[in-house]
A and B are shown apart, each in its own frame.
Chain A
Amino acid sequence: GVDCGADSRMCCRQEFFVDFKEIGWEDWIIQPEGYHMNYCAGLCPLHMAGIPGLAASFHTAVLNRIKVASAAAAVDSCCVPTQRRPLSLLYYDRDSNIIKTDIPDMIVDSCGCT
């Protein structure tokens, strides 16, 4: 996967960190101190379709040429998460019980084009 830079236009992973103290949630969420709500952003031109990130290899180069040549089969390709991991939370519930929960698929680790 590719991480977005300042002027990235192609499909990449944009990092975004939510500090629980900043949103006033540090009193009921004990751990962690924030949430990496990364997201996918950028364009998916035809030659990047179907590639989970820029796999710079001979095979990719060949595939690209075939796709460009067959531009007639233009298809919408979207920049979406291709790797995600859980968010583990330790928090108080309404009755002041201390709960530990692992919420699946909450943190985006890499993005790619459909």
Chain B
Amino acid sequence: AAKGAWCPACGAAAPAPGTQRDALLALAKQSILAKLRLPARPGVPQPPSRGALLTALRRMRAQRSDTAAATPGMLRDGRLLTLLSVLCAGFSSSHRVHLHFRFSQEVTGSTEILQATLYLFWAAPGAQPITVRLLQPDPAGSNMTVASETQLEVQRSGWTTLDVGAAVRSLFRQETPRLTVELEVPEDWGSPLPSDHSDSHWPFVVAQAQARTPHRVHRR
């Protein structure tokens, strides 16, 4: 009802604007949760920045349409999962940049990795190639060992991709599923690390995985 008027349905005086707004906000929350069949709003431990996530999702969709065209025989029976891991921590010294990507343990225990791609964004690449090392924890101690080393050439600014399937596959057999990437970057290159939280060009890893079918035992 208009301000100061009475409500035609129940005859009560119109609520104060603040009260009415709070009631509508509460109604909006309840309506969305009910329609999503959620008892309460989910808690998200450390969501990546929205811009970074939307950029990654768009790149993924572009890759999926290419992949589907290139490999029409891909699994169509719904057991195919797409895993996305956005950079969770990154440190850079003079020439070296360390990137860390986490995967949740519930996923690693129940899936097999089919392929995995690392996406890096370079605003100002240089002429020489960079060295990309995939590190994994040393079983004997606390250090890291080099699982693979690659020379990566970047011709122009924008997104660059690197196949990290083998490294992620071996990662999924370990206790703490965390991929560490070391980049050795010449002096004149910019850093692939995001300048701040609003920067949407965060490095990320996309993995195509297949849900492991439960182990079936046939008794005779």
Give the B-binding residues of A (Cβ under 8 A).
7-9, 16, 18, 22-23, 25-28, 30-31, 35, 37, 39, 41, 43, 87, 89-96, 98, 101, 103, 106
B74 located at the interface, meaning its Cβ lies under 8 Å from any Cβ of chain A in the complex: no
B139 located at the interface, meaning its Cβ lies under 8 Å from any Cβ of chain A in the complex: no
Q: Is the CB of B28 within 8 A of A18?
A: yes
How many interface contacts (CB-CB < 8 Å) are there between A and B? 62
B53 located at the interface, meaning its Cβ lies under 8 Å from any Cβ of chain A in the complex: yes
Chain A residues with CB under 8 A of B41 = 25, 28
Name the CB-closest residue of B to A90. B57
Q: Is the CB of B50 within 8 A of A26?
A: yes
B27 located at the interface, meaning its Cβ lies under 8 Å from any Cβ of chain A in the complex: yes
B11–chain A nearest beta-carbon distance, Å? 14
Q: Is the CB of A96 within 8 A of B104?
A: yes
Chain B residues with CB under 8 A of A43 = 8
Chain B residues with CB under 8 A of A103 = 32, 35-36
Name the CB-closest residue of A to B40. A94
What bracket does the count of chain B residues touching chain A fall in?
20 to 34
Chain B residues with CB under 8 A of A39 = 24
Q: Is the CB of B28 within 8 A of A37?
A: yes
Chain B residues with CB under 8 A of A35 = 28, 32
**Other-chain residue from B1, B25, B57 in contact with A98 (beta carbon distance below 8 A):** B57
Could you tell me which residues of chain B, from 40 to 87, have a CB within 8 Å of some CB in chain A? 41-45, 47, 50, 53-54, 57, 84
How far is A25 from B36 in the complex, measured between Cα atoms in Å? 14
Give the A-binding residues of B (Cβ under 8 A).
1-2, 8, 24-25, 27-29, 31-32, 35-36, 38, 41-45, 47, 50, 53-54, 57, 84, 104, 106
How far is A43 from B1 in the complex, measured between Cα atoms in Å? 9
Chain A residues with CB under 8 A of B28 = 18, 23, 35, 37
How far is A87 from B190 in the complex, measured between Cα atoms in Å? 41
How far is A7 from B1 in the complex, measured between Cα atoms in Å? 10
Q: Is the CB of B36 within 8 A of A89?
A: yes
Q: Could you name 26 residue pairs across A and B whose Cβ atoms are closer than 8 Å?
A: A8-B2, A22-B25, A23-B25, A23-B28, A23-B29, A26-B50, A27-B47, A28-B41, A28-B44, A30-B50, A30-B53, A35-B28, A35-B32, A37-B24, A37-B27, A43-B8, A89-B36, A92-B42, A92-B44, A92-B47, A93-B38, A93-B42, A94-B43, A95-B104, A98-B84, A106-B35
How far is A93 from B43 in the complex, measured between Cα atoms in Å? 8
B38–chain A nearest beta-carbon distance, Å? 8
Chain A residues with CB under 8 A of B57 = 90, 98
Chain B residues with CB under 8 A of A87 = 32
Chain B residues with CB under 8 A of A18 = 24-25, 28
Chain A residues with CB under 8 A of B54 = 30-31
Q: Is the CB of A16 within 8 A of B47?
A: no
**Other-chain residue from B24, B36, B44, B47 in contact with A101 (beta carbon distance below 8 A):** B36
How far is A18 from B28 in the complex, measured between Cα atoms in Å? 7
How far is A22 from B47 in the complex, measured between Cα atoms in Å? 18
